[in-house]
Structure 1
Amino acid sequence: MPFSGYHVEFGTADYVVLGMMSFASMAIGISFAFWGKGQGTQADYLLGGRQFKALPVCLSLFASFISAISLIGVPVEVYTYGSMYIYNLIGVIISNIVALFTVVPMMYPLRLTSVYEYLNMRFDSKIVQLFGAAFGVTSTLSYMTLALLSPALALETAVGIPLWLSIILVGAVGTLYTTVGGMKSVIWTDVFQTGIIFAGTFIVIIKGTMTVGGFERVWETNKNSGRIVLDEISFDPRIRHTVWNLIFGNALYWMGHHFSQTSVQRLVSTRSIQDAKKVYMFSILLMIVVNIMLLVTGLVLVSFIYEVGCDPLAAGYIKNRNQLLPYFVIHVLSFLPGLPGLYIATIFSAAMSTFSSGINALAANVARDFIPRYLHRKSEFAKTTITKLLVCFFGIISTGLSYLLKDFEGPVLQIGITIIGATSGPLFGLFLLSGLFPQANCVGTLIGFATALVFSYWQAIGSTLFGFSTDALPMGPTDQCIGGNDSSITVSSVFNFTATYNDKDSFEYTTPIVFGNEQEKDLSILSNRDFSMYDVSYVWIPLTGVFLTVTVGLITSIIANQFSSKVARPKAKFLFPFSRQIWYSERDVVDTEIFNNNIQVLETSKAL
């Protein structure tokens, strides 16, 4: 079914499906808010009473991080640059395995609510806690703002709803059930939304593959168009995607996620440390499946464009690459009313999950990191009420920020990782330094963290403005887009533009259409270009943040300790288990294990 001359509308059945999904999310969230013990305390509201089993927490964590950014960004990545991104999967697996031996055994026994409370315990310093929390809030806010914007772009393309309206709709639904229900609502709604994500993606893959003639045809088309790229093994850090930067750079990127408030808050909401470990083990399987599905979705998208002979981006039917996938989906699934609505609901679900998790995490950060003294003398009812107001406040703020970015253009996946990586790298370095080296002190850690932040933001901003831009792969054909070989044809569509085709094979638009980055250059230019940190691949940005935080922080701490009359030594329980074996006596290690076992027995008895 070609794009040309074919007007696909978002019908009544599609609106019904989308509306049902939104209503179901609200209903599930609100009903589970009062399930069991309800919300008697702030801990019940923010952590669900610490009584969750592993599976729902795993599905919730999965839904939070596989956002609309990934659902839209990975297939578009395949269209634009090819299939190299699949090596990201290895980095994800590595990060989950590392988290099993670092995040879980160190964080879970401390019974935290905010991950940054650990920094106060570790350094006996409120300053380090506040410094980390401030930038953690920045990172979370940036991530969820982009995640809210992505479905708004999709709905604009597929439905014609104004961008501002779709942003408000997504933000309002997520804010409502999260404010009312807290962590219980977030987790159980995420479980439902995970099912929607898998169902929608699976249907698109199956129908799209059938439409183009089978998977062999999909593979052949992508190979011929240069999208099957799996052999870039260069060690040049300036090359956008290589085997090495996708594995190790993304492993660090995902480790930053594992030490985030969103992850740790879910981790400590489980009923035992065994359940916490299962969360990461189950996540490995889920991440393998979804990454392969998103890669195949991108391959099917490319194959469909070549099969129908019409690339909607090259033809000007859409404004930028981020709109390719929803535009493709409403054509492929239009044979059955309601299916396009299901897929838009998939993007909607992914964004809502990330959004609800984010505002819940931000409220926990403010309540536990910034205003705990103010809340200390309040009743549990007052604490819970204030926390709910914080959730509502951050929901409104995030929705507003997303609207301000309504003219956002460019590869959503790359820009998202660039912005978030500039903060998440130093933040992960902060926890890595704290958990690895007992020599790290408050002064050295702050200096290392500040140095890494300055450098990371400088690199991220500089690379965006002045860095080398890799050439995108050629767009698809347009010979079937505008009705045969007529020398002059005018096309008008639901997207409000007019395109005129003339004998010179050029298009003139009444509204500007973005075909890609005008600064794209041939990759061969790198060999004749002086080395610049601005040209380093965006994937390495988290690495520079981690490296600077750890090295500068450790060296500065060692120097500062030489001038201190009394060097404080943290308790063994504040270090990773393998670090305890290196730096502490056997007795200290045994005492820590006894402490952890007692916590485990306590949690098990509560669960029973």
Structure 2
Amino acid sequence: MKNCLLICSFLFLLFSGSLLAQDKAHPSYVRWGELPPLPGTPGLAGCFAGVSNGTLLVGGGANFPDGGTPWTGSNKTWQDKVYALETATGSWKEAGKLPRPLAYGVSVTWKGGLICVGGSDANNHYADVFLLQYTNGRVQTTPLPALPKPLANACGVLIGDVIYIAGGTASPAATAAELVCWSLDLSKGVAGAQWTILPGWPGPARMLAVAGTLDGAFYLMSGVELVKGAGDSVAHRVFLKDAYRYTPAKGWAKVADLPEPVAAAPSPAYTSGQSHLLVFGGDHGRYFEQNAILKEKHPGFSDKVWAYNNITDVWTAIDTILTHKEADAAQQPNNSVWAPVTTPSVLWNGSVVFPSGEVRPAVRTPRVLMATPIQPAGAFHVLDWIIVGIYFLLVIGISVIVSRKMESSTNDFFLGGGKIPWWAAGLSIFGSKLSALTFIAIPAKAYATDWVYLLNNIMIVAVAPLIVYFYLPYFRKMQLTSVYEYLRIRFNQRVKLLGSLTFVLFQVSRLGIVIYLPALVLSAVTGINIFVCIIGITVITTAYSVSGGIEAVVWTEVMQVVVLLGGALIALIFMANSLPGGFGQLFTEAAENNKFRMAIMHGRITEPVLWVVLVGGFLTQLVTYSSDQVVVQRYLTTPTEKEARKSIYTNALLVIPASLIFFCVGTALWVFFKHNPAALNPNGRIDDVFPWYISNQLPSGLAGLVIAGLFAATMSTISSSMNSIATVVTTDFYQYLKPASTDRQRFAFARRTTVVLGVLGFFIAVYMVYLSNASIWDQYLKIIGLFGGCLAGMFVAGIFFPRINSVGIFIGFIVSAICLFFVQAANIVSFFLYPAVAVLMCVLVGYLSSLIWKEKG
């Protein structure tokens, strides 16, 4: 009863929070602001800008010092001063000078310094490259390898330690732009570095293009082509909107054209999230031929923020640049805020800075604009929370009913008294393995790529007969509670403890992950504080796991599977119906773009080629269904072995339609966002794509149902892990250390252990919130996860190789784990083959070691 009151209190808190958050206006993807304006100048065009030792540097550039224009008789002047801004609330100060007055080069921030590449003055273009470093209030200059030839009005970007430069002009009098692409690898330092000439892109030569980088590739976008016809005295500008991608291993490829030219837009483009490039403004060229006529009446350059998605290959306008035109904007342009061009973009303290720039032909601004990417919350409404609340009440109801019937015994707590029906056990196996990460990750994978990973999922169909005929009889005949007890019977106590400890370490580590990541997504799409989400998930799941044991876990998982699959299927139908051509359009467009590819026939062993996926998928499923206590424990909850067999086949057959649904959802997301690119959050991760769609596109009520499915997937994984860890800790460690303990004492210990696990999972998840980066934990889990294959190898050895003894298998486990660690570090095989390497090494080394070290009779 206390547990129920605690859960209901949390539901009230959650619902109240949703009422407060529901009427918020949908925020922008970018928050705009201004830094202090540049001092003592009407502004600069073509300046250099970057960051050195945390300080923003702006140097060089060209302007009309008296604030005039060419048509008022003013002359353009090139500058050499370098300004420094140490903090966003501080003041600019002069920090030194460039080697010469210089403008219209390429700026690159690299290892605490600003690299200035090329540029020009009134008379020449230059090949000079140098590094500016800010130390003790002054800049120091270090020369770097010069360009192969002089270049200005080019674009460039840094990818890792490699600088890429493309386009530009070779001299002030040039009548054609350059079709050149060069790279400079600084990974080994400045000494000995040389520029490498790369192939040119398959399009017109250009200047004033925009560079960008995404997923390790170099992007070249828009720009201006110079064309001189027969009899022309000067070259004419042709504004381009084509774009290209250069990948070192594959060369150049054309990508989608921009909706309009963005010549001279701040460069490089901002890399947003995991799959977007943002281009801010630019000159579309519609007024270029009228510049001399319009003069002060020129309306300025584009204020659109363009987003490119490299997954759907689509451009869309997602925002506008901060602008504000005063009544005297024509006569006093610096009183207004304009969208700038011919200025670098600089990433500084998490914001994109646009220092100065040209805002009208021949007019500069001293203003420094700043754009800060923001993560908007999803739109979740009262009806959605009512649906989620009903789901929670169903979970509570199941827990209450089961807890009233459960006896205070470990048999009931761990095995449900052996009275779970086969179909419920089968659904529970399925639910325990389909985590919230899978609910999120499978659609995201299909959205970003294709269906190559589908075969990995459905290999359980091939593994199920092996489990039924070779493993299940052993587990049932020995009347096991912990599957690792088999290792004691087959080998010895030491081997069993090694297996049990491996399982516990992996599951406890994973527990924090499966609480944190779904809570992160739920917080993002609902607007509820992430700590409230973590507390809610942990409290409710721990409460019903403690009160009802494995039987409550199984029956809630049955309901959760229905909610989970139902929610995903509804989302799929809704996505298809939102397209004019329905499912026909969905499948046709996906097929035309190879989104249904299921096999890669040729490739390296490090890639997911067909045989790698089949072998790896088979052994991955074998690892899970033969040695994972979470799964095997369900085999033992049914009354008979025959019903256990049915439960295994039920799960295997259910995986097929479930996998098809989730892969179809991912493909449908790709088609939907290809037609609705502005509906996608450019600042989000790829893994957020399905939850983002749920919270922003599904009608109120349906969104709640699908989010309930996400809760269901999360809670089924957590509850399964908690109960299984408690089972292993109680039977393999507590009972071993206290053999005289009664069953009632072990039952009480198991319940306390479940509570401790809930608290431990909560603190790990909270720690990860403050860590703000899951990559360290991902690596840690990957290392721990390596032992899963080795653990399966112990069972393979025990069942199929009677000559392998306890000494041999212990050595085999350790050696295979070490070998697999180095195989992973060297990246010499696909991760699909890690289980194959682990099982093979464990069995092989175990067999050879058993021949050398005979067990004492």
TM beyond 0.5: yes
Deviates most, 87-96 or 225-234: 225-234
Q: Which of 790, 794, 810 is residue 446 of structure 1 equivalent to?
A: 810
> What is the DSSP-based 3-state SS (H/G/I as helix, E as strand, rest coil) of the residue aligned with 1:439?
coil
Q: Which of 747, 750, 759 is residue 396 of structure 1 equivalent to?
A: 759
Aligned counterparts of 2:503 and 2:662: Cα–Cα separation in 1: 28
After superposition, the Cα gap between the structure-2 partners of 1:560 and 1:450, relative to the gap in structure 1 and judged at 3 Å, is same
- Say whether the 8 Å CA contact 1:235–1:244 is kept in structure 2: no
> What is the DSSP-based 3-state SS (H/G/I as helix, E as strand, rest coil) of the residue aligned with 1:230?
coil
Deviation at 1:185, TM superposition (A): 0.8
Residue 79 (1) aligns with residue 447 (2): yes
After superposition, the Cα gap between the structure-2 partners of 1:416 and 1:304, relative to the gap in structure 1 and judged at 3 Å, is farther
Residue 537 (1) aligns with residue 826 (2): no
The answer for the alignment partner of 2:473 in structure 1 is 105
Deviation at 1:415, TM superposition (A): 7.7
Residue 31 (1) aligns with residue 395 (2): no
The answer for the alignment partner of 1:323 in structure 2 is 688
Deviation at 1:223, TM superposition (A): 3.6
After superposition, the Cα gap between the structure-2 partners of 1:29 and 1:375, relative to the gap in structure 1 and judged at 3 Å, is farther
The answer for the alignment partner of 1:154 in structure 2 is 521
Residue 70 (1) aligns with residue 438 (2): yes
Residue 43 (1) aligns with residue 411 (2): yes
> What is the DSSP-based 3-state SS (H/G/I as helix, E as strand, rest coil) of the residue aligned with 2:754?
helix
Superposed CA deviations along residues 414-468 of structure 1, whole A, max 9, x for unmatched, are 98995564121101001101111111111111000011122223444x2xxxxxx
Residue 18 (1) aligns with residue 388 (2): yes
Deviation at 1:331, TM superposition (A): 2.6
Aligned counterparts of 1:535 and 1:556: Cα–Cα separation in 2: 26
After superposition, the Cα gap between the structure-2 partners of 1:289 and 1:408, relative to the gap in structure 1 and judged at 3 Å, is farther
- Say whether the 8 Å CA contact 2:377–2:524 is kept in structure 1: no
- Say whether the 8 Å CA contact 1:143–1:420 is kept in structure 2: no
Deviation at 1:231, TM superposition (A): 3.6
Aligned counterparts of 2:464 and 2:503: Cα–Cα separation in 1: 20
Q: Which amino acid aligns with 1:447?
A: I
- Say whether the 8 Å CA contact 1:3–1:308 is kept in structure 2: no
Aligned counterparts of 2:592 and 2:601: Cα–Cα separation in 1: 21
Q: Which amino acid aligns with 2:811?
A: I
Deviates most, 133-142 or 444-453: 133-142
Deviation at 1:271, TM superposition (A): 0.4
Deviation at 1:376, TM superposition (A): 3.3
Q: Which of 724, 729, 735 is residue 366 of structure 1 equivalent to?
A: 729
- Say whether the 8 Å CA contact 1:142–1:419 is kept in structure 2: no
Q: Which amino acid aligns with 2:786?
A: A
After superposition, the Cα gap between the structure-2 partners of 1:220 and 1:146, relative to the gap in structure 1 and judged at 3 Å, is farther
Residue 457 (1) aligns with residue 457 (2): no
Structure 1, gaps ≥5 residues long: 463-532, 567-608
The answer for the alignment partner of 1:476 in structure 2 is none
The answer for the alignment partner of 1:585 in structure 2 is none
After superposition, the Cα gap between the structure-2 partners of 1:333 and 1:411, relative to the gap in structure 1 and judged at 3 Å, is farther
The answer for the alignment partner of 1:431 in structure 2 is 795
| Residues 117-516 of structure 1 mapped to structure 2, 5 A cutoff | 117-123=485-491, 125-212=492-579, 213-234=581-602, 236-239=604-607, 241-258=608-625, 259-310=627-678, 312-313=680-681, 315-316=682-683, 318=684, 320-334=685-699, 337-406=700-769, 407-408=772-773, 418=782, 421-460=785-824, 462=825
After superposition, the Cα gap between the structure-2 partners of 1:225 and 1:402, relative to the gap in structure 1 and judged at 3 Å, is farther
> What is the DSSP-based 3-state SS (H/G/I as helix, E as strand, rest coil) of the residue aligned with 1:310?
helix
Q: Which amino acid aligns with 2:695?
A: I
The answer for the alignment partner of 1:479 in structure 2 is none
The answer for the alignment partner of 2:839 in structure 1 is 546
After superposition, the Cα gap between the structure-2 partners of 1:74 and 1:417, relative to the gap in structure 1 and judged at 3 Å, is farther
Q: Which amino acid aligns with 2:553?
A: V
- Say whether the 8 Å CA contact 1:108–1:268 is kept in structure 2: yes
Superposed CA deviations along residues 54-95 of structure 1, whole A, max 9, x for unmatched, are 011111111000111111111111122222111223422112
Deviation at 1:256, TM superposition (A): 1.2
The answer for the alignment partner of 2:126 in structure 1 is none
Aligned counterparts of 1:409 and 1:69: Cα–Cα separation in 2: 13
- Say whether the 8 Å CA contact 2:451–2:596 is kept in structure 1: yes
Q: Which amino acid aligns with 2:814?
A: A
Deviation at 1:262, TM superposition (A): 0.9
Deviation at 1:409, TM superposition (A): 5.5
Deviation at 1:43, TM superposition (A): 1.3
Superposed CA deviations along residues 487-515 of structure 1, whole A, max 9, x for unmatched, are xxxxxxxxxxxxxxxxxxxxxxxxxxxxx
Q: Which amino acid aligns with 2:606?
A: R
- Say whether the 8 Å CA contact 1:91–1:246 is kept in structure 2: no
Q: Which amino acid aligns with 1:437?
A: F
After superposition, the Cα gap between the structure-2 partners of 1:154 and 1:170, relative to the gap in structure 1 and judged at 3 Å, is same
Structure 1 or 2: larger strand share? 2
After superposition, the Cα gap between the structure-2 partners of 1:78 and 1:20, relative to the gap in structure 1 and judged at 3 Å, is same
After superposition, the Cα gap between the structure-2 partners of 1:540 and 1:405, relative to the gap in structure 1 and judged at 3 Å, is farther
- Say whether the 8 Å CA contact 2:515–2:762 is kept in structure 1: yes
The answer for the alignment partner of 2:263 in structure 1 is none
After superposition, the Cα gap between the structure-2 partners of 1:222 and 1:144, relative to the gap in structure 1 and judged at 3 Å, is farther
Structure 2, gaps ≥5 residues long: 1-315, 320-375
Deviation at 1:372, TM superposition (A): 0.6
Superposed CA deviations along residues 556-600 of structure 1, whole A, max 9, x for unmatched, are 011212xx563xxxxxxxxxxxxxxxxxxxxxxxxxxxxxxxxxx
After superposition, the Cα gap between the structure-2 partners of 1:234 and 1:144, relative to the gap in structure 1 and judged at 3 Å, is farther
Aligned counterparts of 2:677 and 2:737: Cα–Cα separation in 1: 64
**TM-score normalised by length of structure 2:** 0.54
- Say whether the 8 Å CA contact 2:809–2:842 is kept in structure 1: yes
**TM-score normalised by length of structure 1:** 0.75
Q: CA RMSD in A?
A: 2.4
- Say whether the 8 Å CA contact 1:448–1:551 is kept in structure 2: yes
Aligned counterparts of 2:414 and 2:445: Cα–Cα separation in 1: 36
Aligned counterparts of 1:150 and 1:58: Cα–Cα separation in 2: 26
Deviates most, 451-460 or 205-214: 451-460
Aligned counterparts of 2:404 and 2:317: Cα–Cα separation in 1: 48
After superposition, the Cα gap between the structure-2 partners of 1:143 and 1:253, relative to the gap in structure 1 and judged at 3 Å, is farther
Aligned counterparts of 2:477 and 2:398: Cα–Cα separation in 1: 31
Deviation at 1:114, TM superposition (A): 0.6
Q: Which amino acid aligns with 1:368?
A: T
Deviation at 1:544, TM superposition (A): 1.2
- Say whether the 8 Å CA contact 2:606–2:828 is kept in structure 1: yes
> What is the DSSP-based 3-state SS (H/G/I as helix, E as strand, rest coil) of the residue aligned with 1:83?
coil
Aligned counterparts of 2:767 and 2:455: Cα–Cα separation in 1: 34
Deviation at 1:400, TM superposition (A): 2.0
Q: Percent of aligned pairs with the same residue? A: 25
- Say whether the 8 Å CA contact 1:153–1:322 is kept in structure 2: no
Q: Which amino acid aligns with 1:175?
A: T
- Say whether the 8 Å CA contact 2:601–2:609 is kept in structure 1: yes
